[in-house]
Every structure is written in structure tokens, then in C-alpha cells.
Structure 1
């Protein structure tokens, strides 16, 4: 049985691959288990906030895309926007981001094994994947929203509230703004992310089950800009979005990215939190303080979790939901402060 690995990372999405990069640069013997062939696509908004752009730059990674100036909320005739104060964000196709990360991991000499991991066994000195011969001192679960490792270890907590889902599609039309637009409707939100000179991504978040086209028609102004013949990708879905984990550290298993717990896509910070979590995780493993990772993760994500929770709760209350954009419009300085606190 192979006992030579320091870190076994389950999941080769952005969270797992960035963890692998940090681990390789920290001198840790690392291997990634990911059954899907790169690049892996996923239903997401594809907007990288300025913090994520800076983090990728510190890793020496160049990701092509469309610069993002800030965030704009739209509700009927109402508009409120806030520019990013500390550099631009980036609208980037998920497949391109994944390709860049996968190439960097390969260049760093980290093997990516075509393995699906749904069961783990751990003892006081390490973690074993049954039937594979793989063993490592630490296992990182970066296996996404519905983490099989989290389920295997009994760490999933029941989520309360109305389940929300995400749908995403791309349209070959020129972006009409350098802002990420969030259109607020009666039953959900539509995100518009510029991705290139002739490409925008549309992500719909809602608690109602219906086809993409049905949801899009609930945003007439937006639908008018997006003729059906301009659609260039199939609809992808994800959800339920809220996933709670009982812990980020369980023995010798550490969770990162969406597997560590997820509230909602409403504030668009999934990638940024995954990058921050990956750095904190590797730092604690390297320094021999893995027990501190839970505290560091909570500290690093506290502001985001609080703001997202407040916004989602307001969104789901009929008396408050219609007032979110008008309130932001009346208090532009507060809106700008919130946008930049997350960015």
C-alpha cells in the first residue's frame, strides 16, 4: 500500500486544483483524484471577483476573459451600481479557468488520477481509499456541493428554508456593460456576466422549478437582448445550493471549496472563498496545525457568510424582497461598501 503521499485531494475542480498548487509549492507530496476529463464545466456565474483575480496572479496564473468593473442591481426601472475599488474582476469561462489550473498542476508535477472516491477510511496516522492502494497523511475533500466524502463521514447537516437552484446558459451577443448585472425578479435573480467581445453568460437563481426559457421570460428587458438563436451552449443546472457541513476538519479529512459548506450563489464569491480556503488549509497542514483550519476558515469566510445569509433571508420574505434594490438605490454608499467588502 502506498504510504508516501502527504496530501490526497479528492476533486479536481478549482478548489482542489488550487489546493494542489499551494501544496506542491509548499513541498508536500500531493496527488489529486478526479474522474472527469479536463476541462470540467459547471453551472456557475463565471465572474471572478477582484480578490480571486489577485490570488490567481500571485500563483503566476493568467486567465483570459472580460474585465469586470463592478456590480449593478436592476429591478424594473431601478438601477444601482458600485465599482470595484481595488482592481477589476474578470468574467472567465469556467472551462478556460479549469484548463489553466489543470495545466499549472501538471506543470507542478502533481498527478491527477482518474478515480472516483466515495468512501474513505482513516486512522490515527492517515487516510486510505479502499480498493485503490492510495493512502496519505491527510485527505482534502474538494468534491463539490454534494460532497460524497462529506456524506460518507456523516457530516452533512440538514438545510432549512426554501431550496434554491441555479441554471446557466451562454449567448453569443456583445456585452452591453462591463458590470456584472443582477436582475431582481419576483421569483429569482438573473446574473449577466460579460465573458468576451461576443459572449455573455446568464445564470438564473430561483426557488421554483421551471425550464430556463420560462425563467428568462420573467425578465422581459433582459430576454429582449437574448434571442433564442443566440444561445450557444446547453443549459446546465446546479442545486439545491444551500449545503451545510458540520465541520471543516474531521480527523485527518479537511474540506475546502463548496464541500466545506455553501449558502447561496447570490453574492458570487464561490471561487474567491475556495482560493482563500485552499491557502489556509495548506498553510495549516504545512505548519502542523490542522486543527486551526476550522477557525481560520470561519474567520476568512465570516463576512461573506453573514452578508449572504442576510440577503438570502431578505430575498425569501415577501415583504422585504421587493425593497432590496430600492433600498440599495437610496443608500448607494452602503451598497458600495457591501460590494467592496465582498470583492
Structure 2
């Protein structure tokens, strides 16, 4: 019997499989999409995410990131990371290196999709495969989360993300977050002549329409488009619990607040590894509390920043406050790194 079956072959699913295989367990990943898998994301990996990837034996190619810079018109605030830098890496590069590492360790990747899940006292069956445990890492719109009745209604305003690349040499080694009353634009260096620009907003519209809210940035990038626009959303997702019997949810499938603070990859690797570690210890019942502890700071800080950005009285104060109080802004960035 398979030790751990993983639903979803994105960063969280492959991280879980790598952790399991490294510990001598048989891991099988079920994923419908061919490698490499691309998706809409900011492509900036925080230092904690880089550390987590290195612990898995994964080192994607990309551009070192020195910190975070907030921009609102003429006002700016920036804070450097402490210790290890972050990394700007194409999503396809990240996925390719994770997939390669998983295959090196003997992980089997099966083309398919996990829908119905059946459980008994000692096994779980999904996608025609039977295993001792199932880790659901099937993303923001997790079919496993819905199938198990773990989807919880979320009343928060819906936010959506769009990402596009541009052929231009990066002008900074910081991730730039440009603010407007409509949303944010995240500029991430990902190559010698390539930057990624992700826009997040409550409004629906094209990438070009959203970018128009940042005139100086739009002028810099005009005519330099590279590749298609990819979208994601609604972003906010909540699960009633990250564990149901012999199924553990990891990554975005376990719940997601927003991409605003850029911790998606770090949280994916951390929660996936924690799920496997709880199973290795014979303590699956510990996983919900472990998940809550690992994600608490991220959830609290992201919700607080979202609340400020979404309120008309405070939305325009975020960058001015960060500009006037650099120690506070630096502490916030370091808390998230």
C-alpha cells in the first residue's frame, strides 16, 4: 500500500512528496497538468521560503531579492531582509526544480485528478489509488476540501490577481509594491531581462486596465509585454479544519488569506512538511494545531494590512506611515520574511 498519496503537484504537493520520500516513505502525486505548471503568482519567494526549499534540496534559478519597497506616487518606503535574501524565480522554474527533486527521490507522479475520497479506519482511496494517508495540496479551489465538506463560507471582499511578464532589465533588487486606491501592483525581478508584474484588486478588469492605475509604472512597461496574462481568484479561502480523518490539507487547500504579503511558497513548503512530519511521528491529530501555529503570524499580519488597505480612511496612509516610521516598516517586513 502507498504510504502517502498527494492530491496536487504544485509547490505544496511536491514539497510534501519530497519530505515523505526523504524519510523513506512511498509517495505518489496525482496531478492533471503536465510539467512545468504555471500559474498567476507574484513569483517573489521570501527568505523563509528559500530556506524551506533548500531544506528540501531544491535551488531554483532566479534573481536574489534584497527586500521590499512600497511606492505610492512620490512617497516610498523600503526595508531590507535580514540574513538570507529572498528570490525572484519564474513559477515554471520553481515547479521544474521541485518536480526534478521529487523524481530523483523516487516519487511517482500520476496523471489524474482527485475528486471523490473514500476513507476507512486504516486507509484512504482516491483517483483509483489506495494509501495510508492523503495529503490534499490541490490549491486555492481545492476539490478535496469541497468533497470532504470542509469549505467554509467567507464574507470578506473578493480579491483577484493577474500576472504578466515584461522584457526589461530589472531596475532594482527589491520587490516593489505600488499602491493605489484600486489595488496593488507587485514588480518582481525574475531574470536578467525579465520582470513579473502581478496586480491585485477587488475590481474586475484586464491587466492593462489595472496597470493604468500606476501611470509611471505603465509608461515604463509599455510595449514590453512578454507572454500571456494569467489570473487567479477569488483569493480568500477558508477551511473548517486542515484535517479530516486520514486526509490532511496543506498549502492553499488548507486556507488562504491573500497574496499581499508574498508568503505563498513559504507557507506551502512549511505546511506540507509539517503534515508529513506529523504522520512520521504517528501524531496526525497534532497537525491542526501545528498548522495554526505555523500560519498564525502570516494570517494576522495579512488580515491587518488588508483591512487597512480596504478602508477608505486608512488606505492612503499605508505608504506615508511606512515612510515616516521606517523602523516599524522594517520590523513588519522582517516579521514576514
Alignment of 1:282-293 (within 5 A): 282-293=276-287
Instruction: Indicate whether 1:98 and 2:92 are aligned.
Output: no
Instruction: Indicate whether 1:158 and 2:175 are aligned.
Output: no
Q: Is the 2:164–2:229 Cα contact (8 Å) retained in structure 1?
A: yes
Counterpart pick for 1:211 among 202, 206, 222: 206
More displaced stretch, 38-47 vs 155-164? 155-164
Q: Distance in 1 between matches of 2:57 and 2:241?
A: 31
Q: What is the deviation of 1:59?
A: 2.2
Structure having the larger proportion of residues in strand? 2
Deviations, residues 275-302 of structure 1 (Å, cap 9, x unaligned)? 1111211110001001101111111111
* Runs of 4+ that moved beyond 6 A: none
1:36 paired residue number: 33
Q: Distance in 2 between matches of 1:141 and 1:282?
A: 12
1:54 paired residue number: 51
Q: Distance in 2 between matches of 1:196 and 1:29?
A: 36
Counterpart pick for 1:141 among 112, 136, 139: 136
Q: Distance in 2 between matches of 1:56 and 1:266?
A: 21
2:22 paired residue number: 25
2:164 paired residue number: 169
Q: What CA RMSD, in Å, does the superposition of the two structures yield over aligned residues? A: 0.8
Q: What is the deviation of 1:124?
A: 1.2
Q: What is the deviation of 1:58?
A: 2.1
Aligned residues: 337
2:192 paired residue number: 197
SS at match of 1:80: strand
1:7 paired residue number: 4
SS at match of 1:324: helix
Unaligned runs of 5+ in 2: none
Alignment of 1:176-191 (within 5 A): 176-191=171-186
Q: Distance in 2 between matches of 1:169 and 1:200?
A: 9
Unaligned runs of 5+ in 1: none
Q: Distance in 2 between matches of 1:40 and 1:140?
A: 19
Q: Is the 2:57–2:101 Cα contact (8 Å) retained in structure 1?
A: no
2:236 paired residue number: 242
- TM-score normalised by L of structure 1: 0.97
Q: Is the 2:44–2:188 Cα contact (8 Å) retained in structure 1?
A: yes
- TM-score normalised by L of structure 2: 0.99
Q: What is the deviation of 1:125?
A: 1.0
More displaced stretch, 288-297 vs 59-68? 59-68
Counterpart pick for 1:232 among 226, 241, 257: 226
